Amino acid sequence: MNREKAEFFEKIFGPIRVLLSIKSSLEEGMQATIDVAKELGIERICIFLKDELDQMTLVCGHPEEKHGLQNKRNLESHPGLKEIMEKKKMFIVKNPAQDKRSACAPEFCGLHQINASLFVRIEIDKKPIGVIVIDAVGEKKTFTKSDIHIAKMIALLATKRIHNRRRDERETRNKIFKLVAEELVHEMRNPVMTTGGFARRLEKDIDKNPTKAKKNAGIIVKEIKRMEEIIKNSSQLLNQGKMEKEKTNLAKIVEELLEETKKYIPTNKNITVYLDKKTKTPFVYIDRKQMETALLQIFRNAVDAIEKEGEIFVRIWKRPHFVCLEVANTGSHIPDEEIKTIFNPFYTTKRKNGGMGLGLAIAQQIIEEHEGQIEVFSQKEPKELTSFTVLLPVKKN
């Protein structure tokens, strides 16, 4: 029974997970931007994009063979990238062989005849996400006002391509998920409800109680509950309806949900939950019911991530325009290559325990519909730790 059901789910969701994990063609969009720069007469250019770990990846460049494509740079080890990402939107390095911001050795600049470098930041919603570096090479010694204007146009083009790619990826992911969820709900609702009612009566009212029969009935109820939960979660994504936002004390909701989460902790796990509520946080405008669903999914995810023993730390604080909620748990680590996919519907590392990978997808959708964000950080050393941070806007609109 369990093996057949597992094969059934894998048959439905396996191709979906593969499709959703396909590498983004964002690099293709950046290469198209590089091609435009080439047509405008730029002889040497490269584009860095920031990843979830705040590292800068060199995604494309021209000439291609003279750039270390896909190399990663840490901001702390590259003063120029650090300055452009954290302070200035644009600056010129007039002597890259001597200026530490270029992070280039004098012999490298001499080999490629680099006389000056122009750094331009790429932004989306006023948040830095990447850098364009243009070099003046050969007979070109510096940059004119016209060069700077062209560089800004290229940065705007890159921004537009990134924005469109993210929008398309999000829409595609949601369309795929809703299609599968609709089919799943349609196919499973009636047999699950009918079998669930029968199994409960069998377990409760059976006159002749062979041990084996009762044990099997208990297993049926357990499995039915799992499928009922799948239907509930799928329906939640399909039928959230119009949000009814109201001024809400987020700290109070968190306290109530944590009490519910403690009841969710299995008896075979030793988990301690800590809540830091020292900071006074402003109210937020949210649909309380939907946000409770999202946060509960995140809290339960922290519990599920701890195998036997660990701690969950929850804190709320404020920063300009946002209220932040962090949920961190010890005893688990998410590999770098998986961080990008953990919010994909049906992605899960606990399939053997019955998880279908819907919880974080639900949480992300609700938070994004509130114009919020959810960020992930995970480390393996010196101690395994994973944290999810939810940012919710303070203003009503």
pTM of the model: 0.48
Q: Which amino acid is located at 221 in the chain?
A: V
Residue 128: cis peptide before it, omega within 30 degrees of 0: no
Question: How many residues are recorded in the chain?
Answer: 397
352 pLDDT more than 50? no
298 pLDDT more than 90? yes
- Amino acid 111: pLDDT: 82
Confidence of residue 2 (pLDDT cuts 50, 70, 90): very low
**CA torsion sign, 65 to 67 to 69 to 71?**
positive
- Residue 110: exposed, middle, or buried by beta-carbon count in 10 A (0-12, 13-18, 19+)? exposed
292 pLDDT more than 60? yes
- Amino acid 353: pLDDT: 44
| 393 closest CA partner among 248, 179, 196, 256 | 248
**226-267 confidence digits (pLDDT tens):** 777 767 666 665 555 567 888 888 989 999 999 999 988 988
Measured distance between the N- and C-terminal CA atoms of the chain, rounded to whole angstroms: 50
Q: Which of 13-27, 288-302, 327-341 has the lowest mean pLDDT?
A: 13-27
Higher pLDDT, 41 or 183: 41
- DSSP letter for 288, please: H
**176-231 confidence digits (pLDDT tens):** 667 666 766 766 676 677 677 777 777 766 766 667 667 767 777 777 777 777 67
Whole-number Å distance between alpha carbons of 162 and 393: 23
Average pLDDT over residues 280-284: 78
Whole-number Å distance between alpha carbons of 166 and 156: 15
Q: Which of 4-13, 144-153, 209-218, 388-397 has the lowest mean pLDDT?
A: 4-13
34 pLDDT more than 90? no
Which of 20-24, 57-61, 222-226, 387-391 has maximum average pLDDT? 387-391
- Residues 372 and 298: beta-carbon distance below 8 Å: no
18 pLDDT more than 60? no
- Amino acid 26: pLDDT: 64
Residue 63: cis peptide before it, omega within 30 degrees of 0: yes
Confidence of residue 54 (pLDDT cuts 50, 70, 90): confident
- DSSP letter for 346, please: T
Q: Which amino acid is located at 113 in the chain?
A: Q
The structural domains of the chain, ordered by start, are 26-169 (3.30.450.40), 242-397 (3.30.565.10)
27 pLDDT more than 50? yes
- Amino acid 329: pLDDT: 92
- Amino acid 388: pLDDT: 93
- Amino acid 179: pLDDT: 66
- Give Cα 291 distance to the centre of its chain: 18
Average pLDDT over residues 40-54: 84
The runs of H, that is alpha helices, within the chain are 2-20, 26-39, 79-86, 106-112, 145-205, 211-238, 250-264, 288-305, 336-339, 359-369
- Amino acid 50: pLDDT: 85
- Amino acid 354: pLDDT: 42
Question: Token match 């599920």: residue?
Answer: 304
Higher pLDDT, 235 or 138: 138
Average pLDDT over residues 73-101: 86
**354-387 confidence digits (pLDDT tens):** 445 667 888 888 898 888 989 888 888 888 889 9
Mean pLDDT of the chain: 79
- DSSP letter for 380, please: -
What kind and span of H or E run contains 284? strand 284-286
- Amino acid 326: pLDDT: 93
